Structure 1
Amino acid sequence: MQRLVATAVALVALVAGLVIYNSLPQAQPQALVYEPARQLQPFTLQGSDGSQVTNERLQGQWTLLFTGYTFCPDICPTTMADLRQIMPSLQQHTDTPVKVWMISVDPQRDHVERIAAYTEFFGPEFFGVRAEHPQLYPFVNNLGLMYSIPDEGATDYLVNHSAAIILVNPAGHLQAIFKAEHTMGEIPTVNMQQLAADFAIIADN
């Protein structure tokens, strides 16, 4: 009899614990998360390995995408280095490969060989893509990002571009946007600790 009572009490405690757990507020990512994820428009780009890159290349992996260029003096190398640093943390939360794509927004100067050398410096998870403006601009715009096009004939110039990072899920669909933090006197960058925390929530779900 005592054993039955103990079992009943244990079951009641278990059910009560589950009810309390489910009623607690669950952790929510601070990133802008699309539910359901958004399908990307068809695109054709050139990869830093010389291959033709289409939507299919995004499938079977989590992909972090951001706009940049190899002549960028601040945001791009900072973002690349920060992503390299948190890559092991991201990979801990998924059995699916995690990759980084740098989308060059400077097709005039960023040829394939230059992008390849730039991205390979940061590790095998990093990949570069490029295209001429007629193909590049619609792709970047579809991601919800932007960049400026320099004056025709300009040779020494900066390219203004978004500092946000896009997350594409293993189905090849846009899952989330990690927005950059803007602080007076500092370059806008994404908070990598928050990105890692948000990615853990998204990947686990």
Structure 2
Amino acid sequence: MTASPAAVRRPWPWSLLFALLAVGGLPAATLVYARVNNPQDFYGTAYPAGRVAPPLVGTGEDGRPLALGALKGRAVVVFFGFLQCPNICPTTLASLERVRQALPPGQRDRVQTLLVSVDPTRDTVPKLREYVRFFSPSARGLIIPEPQLRKTAAAWGVGYEYTDITGPQTYQVSHTTGVYLIDPQGEQRVVWDISQLTNTARIVGDVQTVLR
């Protein structure tokens, strides 16, 4: 199945605003839309200093328990998506691997891409591993079961919904498409919208800033 046409056409800021209004109300939406006066001049939208990333706990693409906290010491790039997504998710993962490859070798090993599935019914561990490793040998995936997934997504300001449901395995998924940069200390530093990912050099700059 694919992401709904509405999700593909809707510009990312409106998708994210819709989700934040649904899961977090106006304060959360205001946070994302307001550019923070940041002396580091991030390309993405910066979060306030000291904002600890919400927990992510589930099963990794290797079938073992995985938590975001276990990845401290690396910059983690978090994206919520699903395996049957026709364009947004593969485009995002390919863009993030270009960013990783553009980093010097010493920094490249300190960056971790993490795809969090918003379709835990269909996205099995073996499929998730094959999918993320297609884009990068180091990429990780995470499956969080419901209802924990819904609570986790809300904490991240992520919205998703299942539409055109005709059977247990037949439906479409709409989801917000923000990409979140977590620094090695576990703090949420930047969110990029999908249109920014084409500017590899600027994304690399943001990543290098948090690795310093």
Q: Same fold (TM over 0.5)?
A: yes
The residue identity in structure 2 corresponding to 1:161 is H
Provide closer, same or farther for how the CA distance between residues 108 and 152 of structure 1 changes in structure 2, counting only shifts above 3 A: farther
Which position in structure 2 is the counterpart of 1:161? 175
Tell me the SS of whatever aligns to 2:113.
Answer: strand
* Identical-pair percentage: 27
Unaligned runs of 5+ residues in structure 2 are 1-38
Unaligned runs of 5+ residues in structure 1 are 1-25, 182-188
Equivalent of 1:174, from 188, 198, 204?
188
**Structure 1 residue 92, shift from structure 2 partner:** 5.6
Q: State how 1:62-141 maps to structure 2 within 5 Å.
A: 62-91=75-104, 94=107, 97-141=110-154
On the 8 A contact 1:91/1:98 being kept in 2, the answer is: no
Which position in structure 2 is the counterpart of 1:33? 46
Structure having greater relative contact order (Cα 8 Å, sep ≥ 6): 2
**CA distance in 2: counterparts of 1:91 and 1:148, whole angstroms:** 38
**CA distance in 1: counterparts of 2:50 and 2:93, whole angstroms:** 25
**CA distance in 2: counterparts of 1:176 and 1:45, whole angstroms:** 23
Larger radius of gyration: 1
Which position in structure 2 is the counterpart of 1:185? none
TM-score when normalising by structure 2: 0.71
The residue identity in structure 1 corresponding to 2:181 is L
Equivalent of 1:198, from 202, 206, 209?
206
**Structure 1 residue 113, shift from structure 2 partner:** 0.7
Equivalent of 2:69, from 30, 52, 56?
56
Which has the higher mean CA deviation after the structures are superposed, 62-71 or 76-85?
A: 76-85
TM-score when normalising by structure 1: 0.73
Equivalent pairs counted in the alignment come to 172
**Structure 1 residue 77, shift from structure 2 partner:** 0.9
For the aligned residue pairs, the C-alpha RMSD in angstroms reads 2.4
On the 8 A contact 1:34/1:175 being kept in 2, the answer is: yes
**CA distance in 2: counterparts of 1:133 and 1:117, whole angstroms:** 22
On the 8 A contact 2:101/2:108 being kept in 1, the answer is: no
